[in-house]
A and B are shown apart, each in its own frame.
Chain A
Amino acid sequence: MPRSLEAALDIAYKDLHQFWRMKMLFVTFLLMPIVLMTLFGFMFPTVGTSNPYSGKIAAPYRHIQVGIVVEDGGGLAYSVADQFKQISSSMGLLDVREYASLGAAREEIVKGRLKGVVVIPYGFSEALASNRQAAITVTMDDTSAQLASTIYSEISMILGMISEGFSHSIIVKLDPSMDASFAVEPITVERKSLISGTTSTFEFLAPGFMALTMVMGTLSGLGAAIAREKEQGTMDGILVAPISSYAIIAGKVAAQTVRAMIQASIILGIAMIFFGVRIYGSPLLMLLVMILGVSSFIGIGIIATSMAAEQETAMTLLMLLQIPSMFICNIMFPIEQLPSWLQAVGRALPLYYAADGLRKVIVLNASLSQISPDLTILLIYSIVTLGIAIPIFRRSLTR
């Protein structure tokens, strides 16, 4: 084995060994991805798909308090109200309570106890009985527009189901030979995934978080590892030894890459065990994307640490890059939500391609050639940033 490679391995081993001994840092390091995944697991639950482990349907919001007011005294009105309550409770989405009047329910909304109220107005039963369209009104707590619109769509979905039930019975009455399902819904829509099995937001989030933690972990880890040695003075001990400065960089980077892989594996593990994510693609290809992802960022980390005099400056500098990357690189939410100029910035950063490549491999079983655009961009980034960083780093060592 060449001397430089040996020295790089010695430095990598020393860094990891030291890291292992810093128990507090090590535990925090392991907790980070766990907290991140658990937190986002509950923030963005899977929508409309059944969890293979619990069998329950997940919904963005559960047990939302909703009122129902039956103004109409007819039998049909009560039948609709009962069906509404029954369907709501069986789906676990809404908790429905009956109120005597809209005024009473409205007061509860103002007090914040109800998020919406369904009103079956006077004349509802009569309209249906005399073959006219009957109306139901829904009033939402408009202080939270996002919640209101989600709950409104849940309510109207349930009422739609009830309405369809009526259509069925009407059609059967009119023409018994007719297929009632066809008459109610002549066109059905079925969503077919690119992959088998159910998908969830985690197919989007997990690879994104893997890329994000790797990048953040290596950037701050590498910065800290180099800056600490410079500040403590131990770097001089390494520099005065007959090894090349490339071995120092390689050793430091290797140690950080191992750390990044550990964190990414924790994220993937949690996503697989608790949130039903499966790896459809090749693990080797996944590893390749991860390594290229890390190397595309390492150079930037080295430049920042070489230029900054002390650790904190380097960390702050890197933070300036990490925080925006988190939001605009298609990690937490789809990049399509951003204004187009911001999308362009996001697509110019390597994190976007690392997350994209990982998603395609993990979720869509993409082949090497299918993700080659991502890999090429990551490779170009790696070459360019390392090409700039290594001479700067070497000069900073012997200034």
Chain B
Amino acid sequence: MDAIIETHGLTKRFNGFTAVDHVNFDVREGEIFGFLGPNGAGKSTTIRMLCTLTKPSEGTATIKGYDIVREAEQVRRIIGLVAEKLILYPYLTGAENLRFFGRLYGLRGRQLEERIEELLEMVLLTRFKDFPVGGYSSGMRQRLNIIRGLIHDPEILFLDEPTTMLDPQSVRFIRDLIKELKNRGKTIILTTHIMEEAEELSDRVGIIDHGKIIALDTPEDLKQRYGCSSLHEVFLELTGRTLRDHVSNSIPVRRTIGRV
């Protein structure tokens, strides 16, 4: 399989603190790539750089051959982002939210409306499309949030903790949806702290810590190599069992506003 994302010494520094340190890895076309790491390890920053939301301090990355800095606009057309924070306007209805974001991608008229119907059906929200999103349950919001990221039918989907804080039914539904998206040929970069989820879904996982990739392989190979019975144990083996508490004197804007 061909690499669809390649990073070359990708680095990001904030006020002297190196969040991402010369990272090199690639994501293959059509795979689910589990991107794991403790809090503050640099995953969110890496993903923000790949999504063109943050400019690298050094190094670069290409997505389907497009440079994330110089060809940001082409990159944006082929990626979809489902961030940890919901990208939805609570006062607008489900359909209105999808329509707004669809229009930003240049979709119009029948084509847009058909796309909205198709996506709503896929996550069983057709019935609720004309209600304000503020009234949705968490599970419904997240399902809508995911299809919002798919509105322009991107080839690559970034999913940041898509199942955190959801009930088991919603979690099951979303994991099945992720598999279904892979079957339809999407490349998925999945960030999660739930190791079982990463193990179940990922074709390969990359573990990042202190801004560096410390492991990258299939879950099976990682378990074998480190003699662990689960990815969970591999993760703790590699990143240690101590807490990662870290403070800085100045609060970067991004931290008060949220991650990815």
Contact = CB atoms under 8 A, between A and B. Distances in A.
Interface of A: 3, 6-7, 10, 14, 17-18, 21-22, 230-234, 236-243, 309-310, 396, 398-399
A324 B61 CA distance: 49
A14 B76 contact: no
B53 A238 contact: no
A3 B105 CA distance: 10
A239 B89 CA distance: 15
Nearest to A239: B53
Nearest to B251: A309
B90 to A, nearest CB: 8
A237 B151 CA distance: 12
B131 to A, nearest CB: 12
A230 B83 CA distance: 13
B100 interface: yes
A309 B257 contact: yes
Interface string B120-155: 000000000000100000000000000010000000
Given A6-B103, A6-B106, A14-B92, 12 more contacts: A22-B91, A234-B88, A236-B51, A237-B148, A240-B51, A240-B76, A241-B105, A242-B77, A242-B104, A309-B256, A310-B257, A398-B55
Interface in B223-260: 251, 253-254, 256-258, 260
Contact of B253 (A7, A18, A396): A396
Contacts of A10: 100, 103-104
A86 B55 CA distance: 82
B85 interface: yes
16 contacts: A3-B106, A6-B106, A7-B103, A10-B104, A18-B91, A232-B86, A233-B87, A236-B260, A237-B81, A239-B53, A241-B76, A241-B104, A242-B77, A310-B256, A396-B253, A398-B53
Contacts of B148: 237
A396 B86 CA distance: 21
Nearest to B132: A21
Contacts of A240: 51-53, 76, 79, 81
Nearest to A228: B89
Contacts of A14: 89, 92, 100
Contacts of B76: 240-242
A18 B88 CA distance: 11
Given A233-B83, A241-B76, A399-B253, A21 B104 contact: no
Of listed B81, B104, B148, residue having the most chain A CB within 10 A: B104
A385 B100 CA distance: 30
Contacts of A236: 51, 53, 81, 83, 85, 87, 260
Contacts of A310: 256-257
B96 interface: yes
Contacts of A231: 257-258
A242 B81 contact: no
Nearest to B257: A230
B101 A237 contact: yes
A238 B256 contact: no
B92 A18 contact: yes
Interface of B: 51-55, 73-74, 76-77, 79, 81, 83-89, 91-92, 96, 100-101, 103-106, 132, 148, 251, 253-254, 256-258, 260
Contacts of A309: 251, 253, 256-257
Nearest to A247: B104
A263 B84 CA distance: 37
Nearest to B259: A233
A14 B77 CA distance: 21
Contacts of B96: 17
Contacts of A18: 89, 91-92
A238 B87 CA distance: 9
Contacts of A230: 257
Contacts of A238: 104
Contact of A399 (B73, B81, B84, B254): B254
A389 B105 CA distance: 26
What are the 8 tightest A-B residue pairs by CB atom distance, in nearest-first order?
A: A233-B85, A237-B87, A241-B104, A21-B91, A242-B76, A309-B253, A10-B103, A240-B81
Contacts of A396: 253
B105 A242 contact: yes
Contacts of A398: 52-55
A83 B33 CA distance: 98
Contacts of B88: 234
A230 B253 CA distance: 10
Contacts of A232: 85-86
Which has the most chain A C-beta neighbours within 10 Å: B51, B52, B79, B100?
B100
Contacts of B55: 398
A21 B254 CA distance: 29
Nearest to A398: B55
B77 to A, nearest CB: 5
A302 to B, nearest CB: 15
B134 to A, nearest CB: 9
Contacts of B51: 236, 240
Contacts of B92: 14, 17-18, 21
B253 A234 contact: no
Contacts of B84: 233
Nearest to A10: B103
Contacts of A233: 83-87, 257-258
A91 B81 CA distance: 73
Contacts of B257: 230-231, 233, 309-310
A327 to B, nearest CB: 33
Nearest to A7: B104
Nearest to A233: B85
A141 to B, nearest CB: 55
B87 A234 contact: yes
